[in-house]
Amino acid sequence: MRPCCFLLGSWRLPPYSCRLTFHKHFQLVRNCTSSNCLYRRAFVASTVAKQVNPEEDIDPSEQTTSFRVTPDEVGQRVDKLLALRFPQQSRTYFEKLIEKRLVRLNGSNAVTKGFRTRLGDEVEVTFLVSPEFHFEPQNIPLNILYEDEHILVINKASNMVVHPAPGNWNNTLVNALAYHLGVHSIENSHENMRPWIVHRLDKGTSGVLVTAKTDLAQRNLMEAFKSRTVQKSYIAVCYGNPMTRLHVLSGNNIIDLPIGRSHSNRLKMEVVPLEKGGKEAITVVEGVAFNEQRLCVVSLKLLTGRTHQIRVHLRHCASYILGDELYGLEHMNEKYKHLTTRPLLHSYKLAFPHPITGEWQEFRAPLPADLKAAVNYIRK
């Protein structure tokens, strides 16, 4: 059997046969304390990611990031620039990404490592989990709505990323959970870390989020999400009344449009027909408040859990969440920047059967200050 750290110093994940050996290693030696095993750290991180509810797509913005070249960065080699931008990774790592055509420049993946940048170039990077990726428990305050021995329900802050990802390896919910649950050494915590995440909220989205503390709770919660037993309710502040377009499209308040990855921008999702790879996505919309400036407050219920589902569906109905830089209107975000600096989207209610007792549970998160102020602005 190969030692668990046989990949030390290598950027590659092992072939499938080696991964099986590695999994057996974990089963046989559960208390491995090899702190230098970088692949072990990557295994822990990737295991957490793979446990996410299969009904809920992985947010591509957590795997891909983009930026524009600044005056100070003009003329630099792409591989060197990326290593400076993301110091957690080596220059060799980015050379490998370029070889795999995972680095795009102004929309083109025909990039070489020696290519030199120009002012305003848009660089897009799709990261791969590698042995260089690891994270540690952090003492980050959590707004806990409920906790027992099986589940932990929090009111997620709008600036918190759920899971460590490129550009956000620290100060995430997983880092906070590790500390809260007493996991003080990432090297011997893989069996404890696996449960936790069962669904996600985007970084800018605040509100109710449930996590599991045991394997059984995790399995049952994931099944509840998959079977669509979980009720997910949101509040959003938008420019443009979606109800007007909805009545034209469907004659009711249900948006039933499949969603898939955008071919023009890997960071975005869009409405894509089922026959072209789109996945079923259903959102129920109710108007709450409107004003003469075409601002509105809407309540939304998700019957599915696709990446960016609410933001994509609202945009398709000519309604744009204020503060949303990816799907919103830039000039409206600028006009109403006094109201918010993030997408005004909040998960205000989450209801589901308790994963162990089966008792129906309902949790609510009060509106955060910025969203409450925006709602009052529209209603005044």
Which two structure tokens, joined as six digits, stand for 37? Answer: 């095993």
d(CA 54, CA 317): 27
Distances (CA, A) of 197 to 152, 178, 192, 201: 10, 11, 12, 11
The number of C-alpha atoms within 13 Å of 292 and in the hemisphere containing its C-beta is 1
| Active-site choice (202, 215, 256, 324) | 202
- 282 strand-pairing partners: 256
Structure tokens at 357: 């007792």
370 catalytic, yes or no? no
**Which long-range contacts does 262-267 make (Cβ < 8 Å, 24+ apart)?**
264/107, 266/60, 266/64, 266/104, 266/124, 266/126, 267/60, 267/61, 267/64, 267/65, 267/66, 267/124, 267/326
Q: Where are the alpha helices (DSSP H) in 51-172?
A: 78-85, 91-99
Give the whole-angstrom CA distance, residue 155 versus residue 348: 9
CA–CA separation, 295 and 373 (whole Å) = 13
Rounded distance between C-alpha atoms, residue 364 and residue 349, angstroms: 4
> Which residues sit opposite 209 in a β-bridge?
154
Instruction: Give CA torsion, residues 177, 181, 187, 190, to 10 deg.
Output: -80
For residues 193 and 79, the answer to whether their CB atoms sit within 8 Å is no
Q: Is 306 exposed, middle or buried (0-12, 13-18, 19+ CB in 10 A)?
A: buried
**From the centroid of its chain, how far is CA 59?**
4
CA distances from 348 to 37, 156, 202, 207, 233 (A): 41, 11, 14, 6, 6
**Tokens 């870390």 found at:** 193
Distance CA 33, CA 298 (A): 51
Residues catalogued as catalytic: 202
